[in-house]
Each structure stands twice: as structure tokens, then as C-alpha cells.
Structure 1
Amino acid sequence: MTDEDREEACNAIPLPATLATLVEGYAWARDKVGESGGAVHRLHGKRGAPDLFLKHGRGAVAGDITDEMVRLRWLAGHVPVPEVQAFLATQDEAWLLMTAVPGQTAYQLLEAHPEARAEIVDALAGFLQRLHAIPVGDCPFTSDHAYRLARARERIDAGLVDEDDFDTEREGWTAAQVWEAMQKLLPLPPDPVVTHGDYSLDNILMIDGQVTGCIDAGRVGVADRYQDLAILWNCLGEFDASLQTRFLERYGSAVVNERKLQFHLMLDEMF
């Protein structure tokens, strides 16, 4: 995926006056990767000023942006994340202005540097260990599978699940079929840690083989560690199955709980 595939130049969007003042002089580009119903813009090119990112959305997406703002401010005390520069919300709309985490995404680096893939995977496993080591009692957010199943049910009933975007293993399935398959895997023994919630290759930034931070933190909360393990494991399968094995071994889960893995992969289809 080239840089051109990831974003495109665009005009500035209308903003509340206080936000408009903060972003004067920036060029705008709209992100085309993982917007999840909202709009993500990179603001760049202002002399002497760092790049910024702006998220904007209405309705349910505005609520998601609010969730991310709160979690970013909490998570900043534990691991590197974007710094919140400004946040504004109305009854039905929200804007979140953040600093840019330096580096390229893990996806970009795995694609561009096949010779360094083992090193990259080791760094991803190490950063996830660091995240999962945050004391559960310090985290005010819940994202366990009971909570997320309730959210998934709401999305199914509202017709919001994109059935055309299911993984190959579930190609042609309906959301109802995925739901039924998940129920058959329950109950699952709890193993709660502080999770990112969407620990994918596009949400981890790196420089020189080291993780510089994570983005898209709107799902951060206490959940089973497989919430994160399953998503990154699935992402690495796009490159090489040996990277999936290495990741789990370096993280410390060489013995895989297949039920949890499959459950969380199916749960992620709902979002």
C-alpha cells in the first residue's frame, strides 16, 4: 500500500472558530485507512509546527470520538499515544485534534522491509506485553467480551455490520451466523488485562525497529488478552504464518487457546 493509497489531499473542512484558529496555515489530507464511519485528516506542512491529526464525526461516531479522547488522556500516563490538543463536542458532533505519533505504521514497515520482519514482530510483541502489564485496577474502562457482545448485538440489530468485509474464513456468512458461532464458543475463562482493543498493524507506529506509540485508542479497556492477540495474529497472516507463530511465542503464548482466538476474530467482524 503506497502513501497515495493511504491518503489524499483535500480542502479544509468547516470547523468551530476555536479549532479553526488552531489549524491555520496547515495543508490538509484525508486518511483513507480505517476511518470506521468518521473522517480522519492529517494536517501538515506548516513551517515550524508539528503534524496534527483531526478526527470528526456525527451521531454514534461522535460518541466513539469522545470515548477515544477520554482514553487517550488516561493511556498517556502509561504508554506513548497522541497528545490531545483540543476536543469539542455538541449534542451530535465531535472534533478531536491530536499530535501525530512519529514513524511509519507496522504495516508499512513489514511491507517495505521483508528482511526486518522478525525484528518488527518482536517489537510489536514487546509493546503489547508493556500494555498488558498495566495494572487492571488502574484502568477505569471495561471492554470485556460481555460488553462488546452487547455492542455487537446492537450493531447487528441496526444493520450496521458490513458483511461484505468479513475475513475469508467467513466469506458469505451473515452477521447472524457469526453471532451464533460465537455463542457456541462461550463461556470462556477470563484472563483480564488492559487491552488496546484494535491492536492492528495500522495502529502501531515504529522507527528503527522500535514502537513509538499506538493510535486509535477508542476501545481501550479491561478485556481478555486475546482481544489484542487475535487481531494482530490475524493481521500478520497477510504476510507469513511464521510471523504469527513468532509473535505469539515472543509475547509468551506459545500454547494457543484456539477457542479464544476464534471467538475474538469473529467478535471483531462485528465492528
Structure 2
Amino acid sequence: MNDLREISAEFPELPDHIFKLVQGRLAKRNVVGMSGGTVYRLYGVAGEPDLYLKYGSGSVAADIADEMARLNWLGQYITVPHVVAFTIQEGQAWLLMSALSGRTAYQRLSEEPEARPQIVAALADFLRQIHAIPARSCPFNSDHHLRLAHAYQRLKAGSVDTDDFGALYEGQTAQQVWDDITALLPLQTEAVVTHGDFSLDNILMDGDKVIGCIDTGRAGLADQYQDLAILWDCLGEFSPALQERLFQTYGITTPDQKRLRFHLGLDEFF
């Protein structure tokens, strides 16, 4: 992703063993996404592939540790970055990963409008692959009960970025969104293995084929609409027809509007 979505940057302070692995490289910092950590692309060594470094402190360090564990598990089933090195110490975490090839689904949809129906079909197919991973094999819980608890903590701490709300909740307060989604409870859900943040910037493609995904820190057992809602919302930037095609190609004739709205609202807290 060597474009305006990243800027040249200085290296963060690194533990010795990670510094040795990246010595001689240059760094660019990713300026897109809501991963919670600072992400750097490390490049510039002839004959060596790029690497990615995710760094964070405090609660973000714990999130990065969660992502490391999920990458190691998900790699059995789908293509995700390989963990090259990981360290957590004194409230700081560093996760060094291999880079996936290809371009993001957002870039593909932006650059080739004529291919959008095929791209959405590929996204739906890849999402079905994730949701078909045997649920009993998944050691991680990411269901809406857990996410609601975390959302409530962020609400009370005043940590919700209301300026980043999507069109559905634009201009509302975090409390109003909370009241809206909790009024939709209880939900009838179908627990599957989910990516957790299945946005267009987190999906890598080669042509019309999805080759893998990144930012897996929220992966775990949850309602399938956790992923569907985020992807559906992203596709709305391009056209309602692509949103409809997502559900058609995924295999849902009549989308559950209650579950869709709930997960759209819940995601605003993160």
C-alpha cells in the first residue's frame, strides 16, 4: 500500500531483538484505519519483502497481544500476516508481521468501477469462508455481549469519537446511539467465527480474488452480522446496488434489519 494512505516516519523505540530484524529499513506510517495501534510499513532492503510493525501502549498493548494470538490461530484456516516477532513489556507491545501482497478492496473498488460487482462477489465468498471455520475450534469470544460491555466502558469514559460517526448516527451523541442499540435487545444471533472488523481497508485482493485479510484483533465467535454490517456500511460509499449485491451473493435473501442496525451502532463505539 505505497500511496497517500501512508507517510514517511521515524522508527519508534524498539526492543533490541526486533531492532536487529528491521535494521537498515525505512519506515512509513499508516494513516488509514482504526486499529488502535500505530502501524508502520518497513521497507527498503534489496531482495527482502516488506514487513509491518504495530506498536501501542497501555490498553492498546493488550489489544496488540490479542491480535498476535488471533493471527497465529487464524493462519490455520485463511491467509493472514505471519507473526515474525512479538514483545510486550512495561505496558508496551510490538508486533512484527509479514506483509500480504495485493491491494486493498477499497483501492480495487475505487480504481476499477467496472469490476465492482465481481469484487463484491469475491468479498462475500471470502466472508463465507471465514464464517464456515468450525466454531467449536475457535478459542476467542467476540460476541455482542462482550462488545457491549466494552462499549459501555468507553461511553462512561468519554472515549467515543462522535465526529467519526457514520451517516446513520451523524450528529448524535454517544448516549443517543447507546440508547438506540440497547432498545434493539435482545437479539437472535447466529454465532460463527468472525473477522470482527471486515472493512474494505482490511481485505487484500489480487485482481478479483481475495488473497487474505489484516487487522484481526477483534476476531472470534460472534453474530455473522458483525462482519456483514461493517462491510455493508463500507460499500454504501460506492452504491446501494453493491450493498444489495453483498447480501445476495453471501446468500441472504432478506437481510435482518434489526441485527444490521444494532451492529452498525455498536461499531460506532470502537
Per the alignment, residue 240 of structure 2 pairs with 241
Per the alignment, residue 250 of structure 2 pairs with 251
CA displacement at 1:223 relative to structure 2: 0.3
**Secondary structure at 2:128's aligned position in 1?**
helix
Q: Distance in 2 between matches of 1:251 and 1:61?
A: 33
Q: What pairs up with 1:82-121 in 2 under 5 angstroms?
A: 82-121=81-120
- Segments of structure 1 that go 5 or more residues without pairing to the other structure are none
1:204 aligns with 2:196: no
Residues 90-137 of structure 1: per-residue CA shift (max 9 Å, x gap) = 131000000001100000000000011011101100000000000110
In the superposition, the TM-score normalised over structure 2's length comes to 0.98
Per the alignment, residue 261 of structure 1 pairs with 260
Per the alignment, residue 27 of structure 1 pairs with 26
Query: In the alignment, residue 18 of structure 1 is paired with which amino acid?
Result: H
1:80 aligns with 2:79: yes
Per the alignment, residue 130 of structure 1 pairs with 129
Q: Distance in 2 between matches of 1:129 and 1:230?
A: 14
Q: Distance in 1 between matches of 2:227 and 2:168?
A: 19
CA contact (8 A) 2:35 2:215 kept: no
Query: In the alignment, residue 258 of structure 1 is paired with which amino acid?
Result: Q
CA displacement at 1:41 relative to structure 2: 0.1
**Secondary structure at 1:185's aligned position in 2?**
coil
**Secondary structure at 2:77's aligned position in 1?**
coil
CA contact (8 A) 1:106 1:201 kept: yes
Residues 139-194 of structure 1: per-residue CA shift (max 9 Å, x gap) = 00001100100010111111111011111221111111111111110111121100
Give the % identical residues. 54
Q: Distance in 2 between matches of 1:261 and 1:24?
A: 46
**Secondary structure at 2:106's aligned position in 1?**
helix
CA contact (8 A) 2:204 2:212 kept: yes
Query: In the alignment, residue 107 of structure 1 is paired with which amino acid?
Result: Y
Query: In the alignment, residue 216 of structure 1 is paired with which amino acid?
Result: D
The more displaced of 27-36 and 142-151 is 27-36
CA displacement at 1:254 relative to structure 2: 2.0
**Secondary structure at 1:247's aligned position in 2?**
helix
Runs of 4+ in structure 1 over 3 Å off: none
CA displacement at 1:35 relative to structure 2: 4.3
CA contact (8 A) 1:29 1:42 kept: yes
Residues 36-88 of structure 1: per-residue CA shift (max 9 Å, x gap) = 44210001121111110000000011011001000000000010000000000
Q: Distance in 1 between matches of 2:34 and 2:222?
A: 23
CA contact (8 A) 1:27 1:45 kept: yes
CA contact (8 A) 1:245 1:254 kept: no
Q: Distance in 2 between matches of 1:245 and 1:141?
A: 30
CA RMSD across the alignment: 1.1
Per the alignment, residue 229 of structure 2 pairs with 230
1:47 aligns with 2:43: no
The more displaced of 67-76 and 4-13 is 4-13
CA displacement at 1:3 relative to structure 2: 5.1
In the superposition, the TM-score normalised over structure 1's length comes to 0.97
CA contact (8 A) 1:192 1:224 kept: yes
**Secondary structure at 2:4's aligned position in 1?**
helix
CA contact (8 A) 1:145 1:224 kept: yes
Query: In the alignment, residue 104 of structure 1 is paired with which amino acid?
Result: R
**Secondary structure at 1:222's aligned position in 2?**
strand
Per the alignment, residue 220 of structure 1 pairs with 219
Query: In the alignment, residue 167 of structure 2 is paired with which amino acid?
Result: T
**Secondary structure at 1:190's aligned position in 2?**
coil
**Secondary structure at 2:252's aligned position in 1?**
coil
